[in-house]
Structure 1
Amino acid sequence: MPAAELPPIWNGFGFWVWHGEPGVMLAAHQHGELELNLLLSGQVTYLFGGQMLTLDAGQLALFWGSFPHRLTAAAPDSRMAVLTLPLTHFLRFGLPAPFNESVLRGEVRSVAADPGDEVLLQRWQADADAADRERLAIAELELEARLRRLALAHPSPRSQAVPSERRLSRAAELARYAAAHATEPLSLADIAASAGLHVNYASTLFRAVFGLSLGAYVLQHRLAHAQRLLLTTRRPVLEIALESGFGSVSRFYAAFGKACKVTPLAYRRGETKC
């Protein structure tokens, strides 16, 4: 996606489809939607959280845009299609729990595209542009079916009960606020208050919908931010620790070592694929 269209802020796209030539992004950005990328030709490279992700022509990738991501390189002949889907819609599909949880933990699900994926995305773009309620409902049903096929690449015998629309909306509100403010001083009470909820109820609701605690979710965002700075800057570790929301460098080292099994400097040197 062209850098000019995607400034480095917390964007909100809703249900949106784009086709075109991707451009290198000047900075990472975040948004609350799920993002489905289909690379039609060429090759692109993302910095997603703290990892480099390369997509080749014919690959389809799904990830949650809540984690900082940035397109860092694109071959001259690259063309791609991008779809964004609101989080509440994704959760309402009731996809297998381990698949949902892995995506919401910040993992990227990439598979070889099906022959009809380009046609589907072109149709969904027309549906989104038309803004017709019936066409959008059909597009959502087709997208649910496509994501169910994507989930088949990561099978699991477990099933997932779909929370009510109100619970999904409240949980998504908590996630958006926590992700947008993760690098700031932030308590569970602050996050709960953003949605007008009691902290105990907010914590229970978040875990029920996302499969992890609010605290773990905030920590993932702080680590992802720190990993990105370690890979793209030469700034001191102390400065990165504080900017990423860790109260002290000792807390940062402890959390980073537990998650990545190496020190921040070793990570910067490429000694892990955390």
Structure 2
Amino acid sequence: MESSLWVRRGAPPAMPKPHRHDDVEVNLVLEGRLDYLFGGSYLSVTAGQMAIFWAATPHRLVGAGEDADGDVCWVHVPLSTVLGWGLPDRDLGQVLTMRPVIVPATAIGRDVAAMFTAWCEELTHDDTATIVLLEAQALVRRALRHARDASDTDSGRAALGTGEAMRNVTAMAQFTVAHFREPISTVDIAEAAHLNPNYAMTLFRRAVGTTLGSYLTRCRVAEAQRLLITTAMTTAEIAYAAGFGSQSSFYEHFARACGRSPGAYRRELR
């Protein structure tokens, strides 16, 4: 259990390339600011805020605001560990949406900075590492509950009722994130989770709040955004690399999601 967490506190590290890992990542900014390229969009986490996200989405730290030194706390919890916590369906659904959950640190109701500092020491001892994992779980639960309570859209979300249902949803999300660049469809995703396609689509929408097809498209658009910003690839090359079956499909879905063409998006953000 002691090896399942990674905890760090200090200045934001250099991150020259986007990376991904199958953990739930928690960032608490004490001083300065974190600027991320998350998928293909820019995301800022300011002092006094905490961000929680599934790190399977490619992300890269591109700066720390005006205070380049900063003071940030990080914790990585393996997704498999989080799945074993038995989170409420709506809370786990927030993690799987691929959109960071950002809450004020005060919502946790604890001195989170002091907690992180203690964790760095306690994780080195077998008799206290278990306590750290329990405290990390409580922190994540409080943050997700705050985000859920603050959201107007959660009130209509139906509960799934079983751990097996959420395992199936997670399997579909993981398969999608791993294979969206390939010519897969929602039927392929359902089959990968050994589910009937119609049931799979209903289950996924109830858990995550979006359709399985939209989730697949979101993965592809995010990858296209990332490639437009970080590479010199042509739009035709990017369409193929991001998993779109044609340039027309790429342009249609990208414009719908971003409100502009791929070329305009690149000109604005590079």
Q: Secondary structure at the match of 2:268?
A: coil
Q: TM-score, normalised by structure 1?
A: 0.78
Report if aligned partners of 1:19, 1:82 keep a CA contact under 8 Å in 2: yes
2:37 aligned partner: 47
What is the number of residues matched between the two proteins? 257
Of residues 59, 63, 71, the one that matches 2:49 is 59
Unaligned runs of 5+ in 1: 1-12
Q: Which structure's residues are more often helix, by fraction?
A: 2
Deviation track 1:90-140 (CA, whole Å, cap 9, x = no partner) reads: 994327x4x776664443333442271212334555666548556634542
Q: How far, CA to CA, are the matches of 1:127 and 1:156 in structure 2?
A: 38
CA contact (8 A) 2:158 2:206 kept: no
Counterpart contact for 2:94–2:208, Cα < 8 Å: no
Residues 116 and 90 (structure 1 numbering): CA distance in 2 closer, same or farther, change over 3 Å? Answer: farther
Q: Secondary structure at the match of 2:260?
A: coil
Aligned to 1:83: 75
Rounded Cα–Cα distance in structure 1 between residues aligned with 2:120 and 2:148: 23
Aligned residue among 213, 216, 225 for 2:223: 225
The normalised TM-score by structure 2 is 0.79
| CA shift for structure 1 position 195 | 2.7
For the 8 Å contact 1:222–1:244, the answer to whether it is kept is: yes
What is the letter of the counterpart of residue 114 of structure 2? Answer: V
**What is aligned with 2:114?**
119
Indicate the percent of aligned positions where both proteins have the same amino acid.
Answer: 35
- 1:176 counterpart residue number: 174
User: In structure 1, what is the Cα distance between the partners aligned to 2:25 and 2:186?
Assistant: 27
Checking the alignment, whether the CA contact within 8 Å between 2:96 and 2:173 is kept in structure 1 is no
Letter in 2 for 1:83: V
Within-5 A mapping of 1:247-258: 247-258=245-256
Taking the aligned partners of 1:183 and 1:57, their CA distance within structure 2 comes to: 35
Comparing 43-52 with 118-127, which one deviates more in the overlay? 118-127
- Give distance in 1, aligned partners of 2:154 and 2:187: 36
CA 1:151/1:198 → structure 2, altered by over 3 Å: closer, same or farther? closer
What secondary structure does 1:31 align onto?
Answer: coil
Counterparts of 1:156 and 1:245, CA distance in 2: 30
Q: Check whether the contact 1:127–1:139 (CA below 8 A) recurs between aligned residues.
A: no
SS at match of 2:264: helix
